[in-house]
Chain A
Amino acid sequence: MLLTEQDKQKAQISQLAETHSRNRSALIPILQTVQRDYGEVSQFALQHIADVLGLHAADVYSVATFYQFINTAPKGKFIIRLSRDMSSMMKGAKIVARQLENDLGIKFGETTPDGMFTLEWTSCIGMNYQAPAMMINNEVFSNLTPQRAHLIIEDCLQGFRSHRPTVGKIGETYSSALTYASHEAEAGLRNALAMSPPEVVSEVAASGIRGRGGAGFPTGTKWRLAAAAKGDLKYIVCNADEGEPGTFKDRILLSRFADVVFEGMTIAAYAVGAREGVIYLRAEYTFLKPQLEAALAARRQTGLLGKSILGHDGFDFDIRIHMGAGAYVCGEETALIESLEGRRGHPRNRPPYPIDVGLNGKPTVVNNVETLSSISCILARGAAWFSSIGTERSKGFKLFSVSGDCTRPGVYELPWGITVEGLLETVGGGNAKAVQVGGYSGMLIPASQFDRRLAYEDLGIGGSVIVYGQDRDMLDVAENYFEFFVDESCGQCTPCRDGNVKLLEGIRALRQGKCSSRYLNELISLCETIQVASKCGLGQLSPNILIAINKHFRDEILARPMVGQH
């Protein structure tokens, strides 16, 4: 880099830091901006960023290396990230991968000698119903075939020469009729503002809604605790880090019903007494950011954000968007908060919980995109309406992201309580061998249990559903999951970081017919340890798949011909 170029970069970094009051929370946004403009965050840039933020260079380096979408060494002008989620793999991602390798003359993990393309695998990008899919820089391309992949690369080169931006191509989403589509704009917020904050909390509690991110914590309880927490400043954080493989419903909500989400956040702010809101949007959804910014700007214009919202004196609230940088674990609320503060996404020890000690040490409510959207409807139509849907302990409706071996993948709104079988019928997934519900950290349900119900009474989990047909090899499935967890573990605690490596090695040994039943039992025992001894919920759920296939498909996984010893 020429000296002048360095000066330019220094000036840019200093100015960015200034706009964030030189606060550490500016770290990841600055890294992202430098990354965008220079294609990498060089050692020079890392040190200057450290300098202006009053941090150690090694600390900044450490944060940069945690996130997949930040690179500290040069990569290609076009970074191609092919999604390696199970749905993509089942729909031919490997053939697309070969095509890309052949076209570019490089392997995955490499950059072309001319510096134009870098080829990488990436964790699920939320396009499972249009798999295979890939990102090129921030643009998303779905429904890939080898031919399409070839054409897209040609487009990139031509576009680059004529200075045209790369434009992603996402197909239409199949979805059932969604309640959100008929939501009367701001009706929930207006009703909420007509009540006292405790009444709003009571209404939410009465609706029986539980967190839609997967953990299922009662939202009313969370809000009540946050409202009671002492603090001059409180935060509402919308968790839009939809990283659980196989789920894409939050993306649909954000792209089509962003105002319903923002309305829900505003209601939450009113209920618990928060003045600041943050949407933590996963890096894979960067393409949504302009439209979300526009929606926020429009809300500020119409008095739906800012001072005295809707003329309600003393109710001030605003929302900003904070981009993730490629880390599944940041979907865990305390890791998300760490990330917002400009740190590695390491889940915190709990207690204390975010409702007491959250973002910047202040009481913080972290709610999922879908939870907040439902809140808008609940306040618009009443808790009684919402709680009349679903089952006794599972109130309301839920969005399911369905992909894999079914004829109608997409987003479905269904009341709680439907059986797996019923769901499969709806989506055209007859004759399935097994269904993964709740994403990789959820549960694998074998055909023999398809009469089980999707409800907190039974399978009360996140909204990702991946259908596995009769021909699917369960060890392929498990290997894919563990590759994911080995990469996406934050790496701080021993059971999750090291344990999942041993489980992955075990799966590979099983594939080669080289894992004894005794060692398999040892691995299952290790799974149980990972489930109880890992630091965070994501680690605790990571070994579920091995426990499931051992339970339901033990004969299948142990009966492999031994490889390499004939």
Chain B
Amino acid sequence: MDTASHNASPAATSSARAPRSHAHSHPAVDPNAAPVTLTIDGIEVTVPSGTTILAAAEAAGVRIPTLCHHADLAPAGVCRVCVVEVEGSRALQASCAYPITQPIKVNTTTKAVRKARRHIIDLMLANHYGDCYTCARNGNCELQALAQEYGVDGLKFGRTTEPKYEIDRSNGTIVRDMNKCVLCGRCVRTCNELQEVGCLTLDGRGAQSKVSTFADKALASVICISCGQCINRCPTGALSELDQTDEVWALLDDPSKHVVIQTAPAPRAAIGECFGLEPGTPVTFEMNSALRRIGFDGVFDTNFTADLTIIEEGTELILRLYKALVKKDPAVMLPMFTSCSPGWVKYIEHFNPDMLAHLSTAKSPQQMFGALIKTYYAQKKGIDPADIAVVSLMPCTAKKYEANRPEMVSSGFKDVDYALTTRELAKMVKEAGIDLPKLPKSDFDPPFGSATGSGVIFGATGGVMEAAIRTVIELVTGKTVENFYDHADIVPLRGFEGARMAELTIGEVGEVPGILKHLVPDWNWLKGATLKVGVAHGTANARKVLDDIKAGGPFSQCHFIEFMACPGGCLGGGGQPIPTDAEIRAARAKAIYAEDRGAPVRKSHENPAVLQLYSEFLLGGPAGHEAHQLLHTHYTQRGKFIA
């Protein structure tokens, strides 16, 4: 085995095993269930009945290695790395899947257990083709860490010398190298339980079993929403994003190119993890310095267009409400759905193409930014847009797909040239010899400047909705949000519940602000109205909400619903550092909300650069002619038939 010089991966040393919070959960342990006292390696521990041996061991401070177990997924008990001895049982038991209901005695390091672990790791290594040196997961691989930690000292059962499978790079976002697959099934469970996309599955049986897709087709030919959640849960390098760092280096190396980068809010709350920092350590301004050192000619904050999205999408919402409630226009679809998560957009295009009219036509912040850089910014700077390259740093693999959508060329060029994941950027920073956390801080470049706190919270589930509500409340009531919510924190919209709703009653209304005067005459029709909004994250929850709307359930009464393809929203995106779990996502969310709290301006409609943009460039105002051309898009009814 080609061992890496790194220490055990963060995945292997992280002991975070938070309770599941998603659809299709394994029967959750009732904390009030009868307590059971058991002993693990002689240590007595008391847990509620139904707790797994693995969780009880953690409580007892005993570490049991795992591989197919993932805190976000239902237990499978298939890799058998976590087997332990339960006294009285002839066979060893998978600790991840064994519910304790009686006072058992567990031993985790008997001879048979140690032997079994080694054999199992040996067997996985024997079928694992590819070498660690060149693997995207070198140093952050659970298989590598297990081999190192559990005494594997030779390849007992040989090694695979020829690849068995062709590497699938067909869909331009997710790369599947099944030669590295250990058949833990985490990707399959992620794709089916957590996301309900149902793209990945098991094919065949016995020694022929493999992770596959419908009819073993390439990813480009089947329904993959490119969310990348499978990558985040793959223990090895079998799944990774299409690495475009070399393409970006080539742009940076080309002196004729003016290369700018826009950075989304979620990566900055997570990239520190790639440099050994605790999850939730914000490194926004150190990252800016790193980007300049790498050679980017402009370092911008995608939050600028997040604020712009709020203006455009908020305006669209107001218009839809006005048309539906006042003009009684039956063609207007409510609730309106957010459209900034490209995985979600692809999901609904495939699975609910009849509901596309609900989607806001506003582009995602990434695409708005690309379009503006190659028009507004190019004009301002006097640079031929043909010579400008736009790179974006995203927490997301689907952003690669979004950047490649054929309609995303409203500037006359490909609006965003390359979308890098947080992991890819970390790789570039490392390649440049930069120790990111140690860099001095520096701010974003003009003319887009620093965005508002509302833009920042786009990175968390519920954030888009909170940002929108802050703006809508102020525009409609003429009063500050702080009159309604302390510190403008709209707490009911926060948290990680899979699908949630909130209601806001609008009491008195104010004057229609100048920027919207041409669209609605007054707000009287909203006086005393109750605005109902919803939030869903993870496409399994999105599906629940869509089904509920179709069935005329409570979500069908909503006016506006935020959907994010990834659990936790962008901070749990498929391009974020590995590992991920509820605890890590919560830490990243904390960083994001802290940055919002500290932002000098916290409401999108107060972003001076946005207001300047409308006065200088988007002369038709929100939802006006220019905005429509550059900032809005359309969707495709894809359906789910696989040809």
Give the docked Cα–Cα distance between A499 and B17 (Å). Answer: 29
B178 proximal to A (CB < 8 A): no
Q: Is the CB of A344 within 8 A of B207?
A: no
Contacts of B204 in A (CB 8 A): 65-66, 491
* Given A57-B198, A351-B98: A497 touches B183 (CB 8 Å cut-off): yes
Q: Which of A56-73 contact B (CB under 8 A)?
A: 56-59, 61-62, 65-66, 72
A495 contacts B98, C-beta separation under 8 Å: no
* A490 partner, pick from B200, B205, B212, beta carbons under 8 A: B205
A529 within 8 A of B: yes
Q: Is the CB of A532 within 8 A of B91?
A: yes
Question: Is A487 engaged at the interface, CB distance under 8 Å to the other chain?
Answer: yes
The interface residues of chain B lying within 8 Å CB-to-CB of A532 are 83, 90-92, 112, 116
How far, in angstroms, from A351 to B77 measured CA to CA in the complex?
12
* Chain A: CB-nearest residue to B222: A58
- Compute how far the CA of A533 lies from the CA of B93 in the bound complex, rounded to whole angstroms: 7
Flag whether B257 is at the interface (Cβ < 8 A): no
Q: Is B164 an interface residue (CB 8 A)?
A: no
B80 close to chain A: CB less than 8 A:
yes
| Complex CA–CA separation, A217 to B197 (angstroms) | 41
- Complex Cα spacing A55 to B183, Å: 22
Expressed in whole angstroms, the Cα–Cα distance for A138 and B120 within the complex equals 39
**Cα-based distance from A533 to B209 in the complex (angstroms):** 19
Contact B207–A486 (Cβ < 8 Å): yes
CB distance from B187 to the nearest CB of A (A): 12
Say yes or no for A525: interface residue by CB 8 A criterion.
Answer: yes
- How far does the alpha carbon of A47 sit from the alpha carbon of B642 in the complex, in Å? 8
Q: Do B207 and A494 touch across chains, with their CB atoms under 8 A apart?
A: no
Q: What residues of chain B lie closer than 8 Å to A533, measured between beta carbons?
A: 80, 83, 91-92, 116, 119-120
Asked whether, in the complex, the Cβ of A344 is within 8 Å of the Cβ of B205, the reply is yes
- Residues facing A in B206-221 (CB within 8 A) are 206-209, 212-215
Q: How distant is the Cα of A56 from the Cα of B213 in the complex, in angstroms?
A: 11
**Contacts A57-B214, A58-B198, A533-B120; A525 near B78 (Cβ below 8 A):** no
Flag whether A88 is at the interface (Cβ < 8 A).
no
Of the 9-residue stretches B121-129, B309-317, B322-330, B407-415, which lies at the interface with chain A? B121-129
State whether the Cβ of B293 lies closer than 8 Å to any Cβ in chain A.
Answer: no
> Contacts A57-B642, A529-B120 known; A498 to B127 CB distance under 8 Å?
yes
Which A residues are CB-close (under 8 A) to B123?
A: 494-495, 498-499, 502
> Number of residues in A with C-beta < 8 Å to the partner?
49
Closest to B208 in A: A491
Choice from B76, B97, B98, B203 contacting A61 with Cβ under 8 Å: B203
- Contact between chains at A528 and B115 (CB < 8 Å): yes
Asked if B477 lies at the interface with its beta carbon under 8 angstroms from chain A, I say: no
Nearest CB of B to A522, in Å: 6
**Is the CB–CB distance between A499 and B198 below 8 Å?**
no
- Closest-CB distance, B151 to chain A (whole angstroms): 14
Flag if A489 contacts B205 (CB, 8 Å). Answer: yes
Q: Are B207 and A487 within 8 A (Cβ)?
A: yes
Is B343 engaged at the interface, CB distance under 8 Å to the other chain?
no
In the complex, A533→B212 CA distance in Å?
Answer: 26
Chain A residues numbered 325-364 whose CB sits less than 8 Å from any CB in chain B: 327, 329, 344-345, 349, 351-352
Distance A46 CA – B75 CA, assembled complex (angstroms) = 28
A83 within 8 A of B: no
With a CB–CB cut-off of 8 A, which chain A residues contact B198?
Answer: 55-59
Tell me if B390 is interfacial: C-beta within 8 Å of chain A. Answer: no
CB distance from A375 to the nearest CB of B (A): 27
A526 adjacent to chain B (CB < 8 Å): yes
Question: For residue A488, which residue of chain B has the nearest CB?
Answer: B206
Which residues of chain A have C-beta atoms less than 8 A from B75's C-beta?
A: 349
* Distance, CA A66 to CA B199, complexed state (A): 17
Instruction: Determine the distance from Cα of A529 to Cα of B81 in the docked complex, in whole angstroms.
Output: 11
Given the complex, which residues of B lie within 8 Å of A485, measured CB to CB?
206
- Name the residue of chain B whose CB is nearest to the CB of A490: B205
- B 104-121 contacts with A by CB, 8 A: 112, 115-116, 119-120
Instruction: Point out the residues of chain A lying under 8 angstroms from B98, CB to CB.
Output: 349, 351
Give every chain A residue within 8 A of B209 (Cβ-Cβ). 490-492, 497
Q: With an 8 A cutoff between CB atoms, is B179 at the interface?
A: no
Say yes or no: is A407 at the interface (Cβ < 8 Å to chain B). Answer: no
Q: Is A291 an interface residue (CB 8 A)?
A: no
B124 touches A72 (CB 8 A): no
Say yes or no: A495 contacts B120, CB within 8 Å. yes
Selected contact of B80 from candidates A51, A486, A535, CB within 8 Å: A535
In the bound assembly, the distance between CA atoms of A489 and B183 in angstroms comes to: 14
* Residues A529 and B119 in contact in the complex (CB < 8 Å), given A493-B80, A535-B94: yes
Tell me, rounded to whole Å, the shortest Cβ–Cβ distance linking B183 to chain A: 7
Given the complex of chains A and B, what is the CA–CA distance between A526 and B122 in angstroms? 10
Q: For B201, what are the chain A residues with a Cβ–Cβ distance below 8 Å?
A: 56, 58-59, 61-62
Contact call B205/A491, Cβ cutoff below 8 A: yes
Known: A502-B157, A525-B119. A351 touches B92 (CB 8 A): no
**Neighbour of A494 across the interface among B183, B213, B640, CB < 8 A:** B183
**CB-based nearest A residue for B199:** A58
Interface centre among A58, A327, A522 (most CB of B within 10 A): A58
Interface assignment of A219: CB less than 8 Å from any CB of chain B? no
What chain A residues lie within 8 Å of B192 (beta carbons)?
Answer: 56, 59
By beta carbon, the residue of chain A nearest B202 is: A62
CA distance A25 to B90 in the complex (A): 33
In angstroms, how far is the closest chain B Cβ from the Cβ of A189? Answer: 36
Query: Using Cβ atoms and an 8 Å threshold, which residues of chain A touch B196?
Result: 56
Question: When chains A and B are docked, how far (Å) is the Cα of A497 from the Cα of B197?
Answer: 27
Q: Which of A55, A352, A499 contacts B119 (CB 8 A)?
A: A499
| A70 CB, nearest partner CB in chain B, Å | 12
The answer, yes or no, to whether A540 is at the interface (CB within 8 Å) is yes
Closest A residue to B351 by beta carbon equals A56
Chain B, Cβ-Cβ closest to A357:
B27
- Residues of B within 8 Å of A345, CB to CB, are 205
B126 and A502 contacting across the interface, CB-CB below 8 Å: yes
Residues of A within 8 A of B640 (CB): 47, 51, 57
User: In the complex, what residues of A have CB within 8 A of residue B203's CB?
Assistant: 61-62, 65
B214 near A58: Cβ-Cβ < 8 Å: yes
Q: How far is the CA of A46 from the CA of B126 in the complex (A)?
A: 34
CB of B538 within 8 Å of the partner chain? no
Interface presence of A130 (CB below 8 A): no
Shortest Cβ distance from B185 into A: residue = A492
Residues of A within 8 A of B77 (CB): 349, 493, 535
CB distance from A335 to the nearest CB of B (A): 11
CB proximity of A277 to chain B, nearest CB, Å: 27
Q: Which residues of A contact B124 (CB under 8 A)?
A: 494, 498
Docked-complex contact A494 and B206, CB < 8 angstroms: no
Q: State the CA gap A47–B222 with chains docked (Å).
A: 12
CB distance from B509 to the nearest CB of A (A): 45
Neighbouring A residues of B200 by C-beta, 8 Å: 58
A207 to chain B, nearest CB (A): 26
Q: How far is the CB of B550 from chain A (nearest CB, A)?
A: 13
Q: Shortest distance in angstroms between A241's beta carbon and chain B's nearest beta carbon? A: 15
Please judge, given known A-B contacts A58-B222, A72-B215, whether A493 and B79 are in contact too, CB under 8 Å: yes
The answer to whether A529 touches B115 (Cβ under 8 A) is yes
> What is the bound-complex CA distance between A46 and B222, given in angstroms?
14
User: Is A534 an interface residue when CB atoms closer than 8 A count as contact?
Assistant: yes
Give 9 A-B pairs besides A329-B205, A490-B205, A535-B94 with Cβ atoms closer than 8 angstroms: A46-B214, A65-B205, A72-B215, A327-B205, A344-B202, A344-B205, A525-B119, A529-B116, A531-B91
Could you show 29 A-B contacts with beta carbons less than 8 Å apart? Answer: A43-B214, A47-B641, A47-B642, A56-B214, A59-B192, A59-B198, A62-B201, A62-B212, A65-B204, A66-B202, A351-B99, A485-B206, A486-B206, A487-B206, A491-B206, A493-B80, A495-B116, A498-B123, A498-B126, A499-B123, A502-B123, A526-B119, A526-B157, A528-B115, A529-B115, A529-B116, A531-B91, A532-B90, A534-B91
A-binding residues in B (CB < 8 A): 75-81, 83, 90-92, 94, 97-99, 101, 112, 115-116, 119-120, 123-124, 126-127, 156-157, 182-183, 185, 192, 196-209, 212-215, 222, 640-642
Which 9 interchain pairs have the tightest Cβ spacing? A56-B198, A491-B209, A349-B97, A58-B201, A498-B123, A62-B201, A533-B116, A529-B119, A58-B214
